Structure 1
Amino acid sequence: MPISPELNQRIAALTAHYDAAVLPLWTASGWNTDLLLPYEALDGASAAPLSPSRYRAMACARQLYVFSLAGKQAHADTLFGSLQAYFGNGEGAWIYSVDPAGSPLDATRDLYTHAFVIFACATYHARCGNPDALDVLDETVDIVEDRFADEQGLYHAALTEHFRPKGAGVLQNPIMHLTEAYLAALEATGDEWYAERLREIAMAVHERFVDPASGCVAELPQGSADNRIEPGHQFEWFSLVAGKPDLFGDLPLADALRRAFAFAQQHGLAAGTLGVSAALEANGALLDGTERIWAQTEFARALAVHGEAQSLATLADWAGQFHSRFLHAQGWHECLAPSGDVVRAEMPSTSPYHLATSYQALAALAGMAWPKQGG
């Protein structure tokens, strides 16, 4: 469906801001030239690095993804080396974080971390062609399948350094990002094992996490105490599944997520601004009205993937609201209150990943070649 000139212009403005104001931060003030790691966060006003208490493998992997996506091979090569040097054991297992001096800090084996290593390595190989990335990807997938599997079709969220249970349970968020990672691995390798495993994951998520009343994927398995619905995750799941109809279209999760997409819009958006709230009760009542930047970008990506006329009209409105409320000349606001007050001003190194995945979908909708490659 053709998009309006207004939406086209607003998408171009968003990607231009990313190219000029967001990505360059992370080879300038956001880059620790001694450790060869991205700082965890920058000051929202000055873009000076905030004093780090740690450096996370996941943050390094997300930066590897965004620089690979942009075709910035020299910096991506450095990030790939740092990821392995600081966080990997050489056999596909990763620790959670190192301290400000670069020594191991938290040796937890975290599924979220392993998922982002797979995701980043798939993109790094696809964009930059380094064959070593596929070796790291394969080794990490083997660890995930051999060590994290819960014997019920899904995965433990976290294990000890020696891969023993630590009571973390099974959580939807790392499984969602593993789904994203396996989709990237399928695209990078063509290995149909990923397609089969993705369908199995989708069936298990539907059985254990989906609320039959709304179709929403809850944060905890159904029946857990203090469960909640995050609208941003409904949009994120919708984009992943609806974006691959040949793979997921005949599964019950695809039908559920169409309902979740509508439910999250009905109950999770702030009137007047389209700001996406952080959390809802299962019945749609507001639990947390904080508007985190990642949830806003996932709403936009879901609208682009949905692609119908009403969604495109909403997307045009969203693009204007988002640009004026969340972006500024030095970068972005990480979290807003519904009133528009900034409640978290620092700029984490992990957020460009959310902007990039969203803007890719918007650029594809507009027929734009983005991001521009090279450097």
Structure 2
Amino acid sequence: MVEARTAATEDSVDIVARLKLRMIEHALPLWSGEGWDSTSGGFVDRLDRDGRADRLAPRRVFVQARQIYCFAKAAQMGWYPQGREIALKGLDHLLTKAKAPDGRPGFVHMLTPDGAVLDPLRDSYDHAFVLFALATVYTLDRDAQVRAEIDALLSFLDAHLRSPHGGVLEGLPASLPRRQNPQMHLFEAMIAVFDATHEAVFQNRAGDFFALFLANLYDKQKHVLGEYFEDDWSKIEPVSVEPGHQAEWIWLLKGFERITGCPTGRPRAELLGSALRYRDAATGCLVDEGDTEGNIRRHTRRLWPQSEMAKAWIAQAEAGEAGAADEARAALARLERHYLSHPVPGGWYDQFDRDGNSLVATIPASSFYHVLCAVAEAEQVLG
């Protein structure tokens, strides 16, 4: 046991530098090369197990936005100077193909590989990531056209997706159940837009989602975040708990505290204590789903909750919590060991069963956002 603990400690010592190098030397070149469709434009949705682009897979709009974020963020961090050009190329494709191609406002949900509309749904989750991508691109040049796109998207949200019960509807057309997930990512996007513009209106917009979190999404007695709700935000029983989202909110709450000064230490600590109940005994990784009593419902474990757990600990380290920096490095080491050590350099495994068998044969582009964001946060806070 002592030897295992020592090995794990050694594994995590240089983890931030190793992961940064992995992003720069492998992930960013892979997803800007094989991950970009040079014929039809746009980012591919996934690679096969050998790292070749699946050019026949539909293109989810939120994935296009996430990839734009990744390259803009890499350029902003000074990791990948060519990331700016790639992000702008991706944004141009997104605006040309996905924004109101059918004459109705908003972004469509899914495109065919050649850029035609596959699903015209206006999905709130997608719009959150488009806004997040626009905010990150705006930090690079403060381009007036990008700012105009931010304002146009916000006007669309206000006019078409705002719910009378708080937050946003699932999309157009509206559907049930309500999910906390789009609300969470719009909270993230509003924090990002404030960081890009420093305009108080975005503090207020973020504050609306923080208020929704406190009033409806978060169970203050059981210290868990619900996933699915009725139209008026009443709970749908039995309540589903996704530990990865609990971890993600910890990081976001710290971001909200940073831009507003509003204290969030208590819910962050409560969410962290709850999230840690849902861990796989063999690996220490977060599982995919539990119940409100701390029991595991699904023993599968995806990649993204592990990056969010690392970001949660990074947020606590930034807040000065004792031991949080070491926990953050250990979480990043688990991410590297179990998910990023893929035969394709710059690729990853997406999900395992409880016995450690890989459940997803492809390498989904959607995971890049989670990994790169965690590594960027780690470098900024942990050094």
Partner of 1:13: 18
Partner of 1:68: 72
* CA-CA distance at 1:206 after TM superposition: 1.7
* CA-CA distance at 1:254 after TM superposition: 5.4
User: Distance in 1 between the 2:131 and 2:57 partners?
Assistant: 25
Match runs of 1:153-164 below 5 Å: 153-160=166-173
Partner of 1:171: 179
Counterpart pick for 2:156 among 136, 143, 147: 143
* CA-CA distance at 1:149 after TM superposition: 0.8
Partner of 2:267: 256
SS of alignment partner, residue 27 of structure 1: helix
- 1:25-61 CA-to-partner distances (Å, cap 9, x unmatched) read 12222211111111110013x1012253411211111
Counterpart pick for 2:121 among 96, 103, 108: 108
1:336 partnered with 2:352: yes
1:80 partnered with 2:91: yes
The answer on whether the counterparts of 2:69 and 2:137 sit within 8 Å (CA) in structure 1 is yes
Partner of 2:29: 24
Going from structure 1 to structure 2, the CA distance change for 1:206 and 1:280 (only over 3 Å counts) comes to same
The answer on whether the counterparts of 1:199 and 1:247 sit within 8 Å (CA) in structure 2 is no
Identify unmatched segments of 5+ residues in structure 1.
Answer: 368-375
| RMSD, aligned α-carbons | 2.1
Counterpart pick for 1:227 among 239, 254, 262: 239
* CA-CA distance at 1:329 after TM superposition: 4.5
- 1:54-102 CA-to-partner distances (Å, cap 9, x unmatched) read 1121111111111111221221121111001110028861100112332
TM-score (norm 2): 0.87
- 1:134-160 CA-to-partner distances (Å, cap 9, x unmatched) read 111110011112211111221101113
Partner of 1:132: 145
Partner of 2:3: none
2:339 is aligned with what amino acid? F
1:286 is aligned with what amino acid? I
TM-score (norm 1): 0.89
SS of alignment partner, residue 287 of structure 1: strand
User: Distance in 1 between the 2:261 and 2:197 partners?
Assistant: 22
Partner of 2:283: 273
SS of alignment partner, residue 309 of structure 1: coil
1:30 is aligned with what amino acid? G
- 1:318-370 CA-to-partner distances (Å, cap 9, x unmatched) read 33332221112512111122332211131111211111111111111233xxx
The answer on whether the counterparts of 1:92 and 1:142 sit within 8 Å (CA) in structure 2 is no
User: Distance in 2 between the 1:128 and 1:36 partners?
Assistant: 23
User: Distance in 2 between the 1:62 and 1:32 partners?
Assistant: 16
Counterpart pick for 2:53 among 49, 52, 58: 49
Partner of 1:302: 312
Partner of 1:241: 253
Segment of structure 1 superposing worse, 294-303 or 325-334: 325-334
SS of alignment partner, residue 154 of structure 2: helix
User: Distance in 1 between the 2:351 and 2:106 partners?
Assistant: 32
1:262 is aligned with what amino acid? G
User: Distance in 2 between the 1:66 and 1:92 partners?
Assistant: 26
1:89 is aligned with what amino acid? A
- 1:181-207 CA-to-partner distances (Å, cap 9, x unmatched) read 000111111221111121122112221
- 1:191-249 CA-to-partner distances (Å, cap 9, x unmatched) read 21111121122112221121232222210234213430100000101101123325566
The answer on whether the counterparts of 1:110 and 1:157 sit within 8 Å (CA) in structure 2 is yes
- 1:278-322 CA-to-partner distances (Å, cap 9, x unmatched) read 011111111111111111000001111101333223233333332
Segment of structure 1 superposing worse, 353-362 or 21-30: 21-30
The answer on whether the counterparts of 1:172 and 1:209 sit within 8 Å (CA) in structure 2 is yes
User: Distance in 2 between the 1:329 and 1:78 partners?
Assistant: 29
User: Distance in 2 between the 1:363 and 1:244 partners?
Assistant: 20
2:316 is aligned with what amino acid? H
SS of alignment partner, residue 65 of structure 1: helix
User: Distance in 1 between the 2:65 and 2:290 partners?
Assistant: 30
User: Distance in 1 between the 2:261 and 2:12 partners?
Assistant: 28
Equivalent residues, number: 356
1:183 is aligned with what amino acid? I
Q: Percent identity?
A: 24
- 1:161-182 CA-to-partner distances (Å, cap 9, x unmatched) read xxxx3x2343100110000000
User: Distance in 2 between the 1:322 and 1:335 partners?
Assistant: 12
SS of alignment partner, residue 38 of structure 1: coil
